[in-house]
Amino acid sequence: MTAGARDDPERAPGPGARRRFGAGAVVVIVLVALAVTIAIGIVRGATTPVDEVAVDPSPVATPGGGEELFVHVSGAVREPGLYVLPAGARVVDAIAAAGGFADDAARDAVNLARPIDDGEQLPVPRQGEAAPPTTAPPGQAPDGRVDINTADATLLETLPRIGPALAERIIAWRDDNGGFTSVEDLLAVPGIGDTMLEALRDLVTV
């Protein structure tokens, strides 16, 4: 202790003053920590995703090299709206995405096996309503089956186990032979056997 402190006891900090100083420092630290916590919460709140879907009009590439399909499902479904489906999706996938059929849906009027086109509106009729007319895309029959005599390679590749090479062989065979006269003619295409034919039989037509 210095001489000044010995001469003037009031200037020397006592134990009580030290305790008050220590308590004050703790309060300051707590307040600073609280302020930092609040600031972090504000930043996180500002960056939290909101429940909003931004629709990009350009096709979105998928890892498999295809494109995502935008389809508007309306009518007798539980959750009508715009849905994004993977390339190769069928009507059954669109109905499932929309929550399934409504109780009064005319289910028999909907071809669940038909492939979906990008930008399509899929209206599901209710019981007693007339089914809306549908226009099949080139290479596809009105019932949703793929016409192996007119379908291009892209449409053929929507069929199970048909890749780019096999699709090209199907097109080459029909060009060389004047087209298919029956579904069974697919057996003449290299790479298609009885097992594959059975898998394709209900999905294709001539």
Asked if residue 97 lies in contact with residue 112, where contact means CB atoms within 8 angstroms, the answer is: no
Enter the pTM of the model: 0.39
Contact status, residue 80 vs residue 98, Cβ threshold 8 Å = yes
Where do the structural domains in the chain lie, given as residue ranges? 69-124, 146-205
User: Which DSSP state fits 192?
Assistant: -
Please, which residues have CB within 8 angstroms of residue 185's CB and are 6 or more apart in sequence?
177, 206
Q: Average pLDDT, stretch 148-167?
A: 91
CATH of segment(s) 146-205: 1.10.150.320
Name residue 56's amino acid: D
* pLDDT band of 8, cuts 50, 70, 90: low
In this prediction, residue 132 carries a pLDDT of: 62
Contact 109, 125 (CB under 8 A): yes
Q: What is the pLDDT of residues 188-199, one digit of tens each?
A: 999 999 999 999
β-strand 81-85 against 69-75: which pairing, if any? antiparallel
Who contacts 95 (Cβ-Cβ below 8 Å, separation ≥6)? Answer: 73, 77, 101, 110, 112, 122, 124
- Residue whose token pair is 């001489």: 3
- CB 105 within 8 Å of CB 77: yes
Q: Which helix (H) or strand (E) holds 107?
A: none
- At 65, the pLDDT band (50, 70, 90 cuts) reads very low
For the cut 90, the answer to whether the pLDDT of residue 31 exceeds it is no
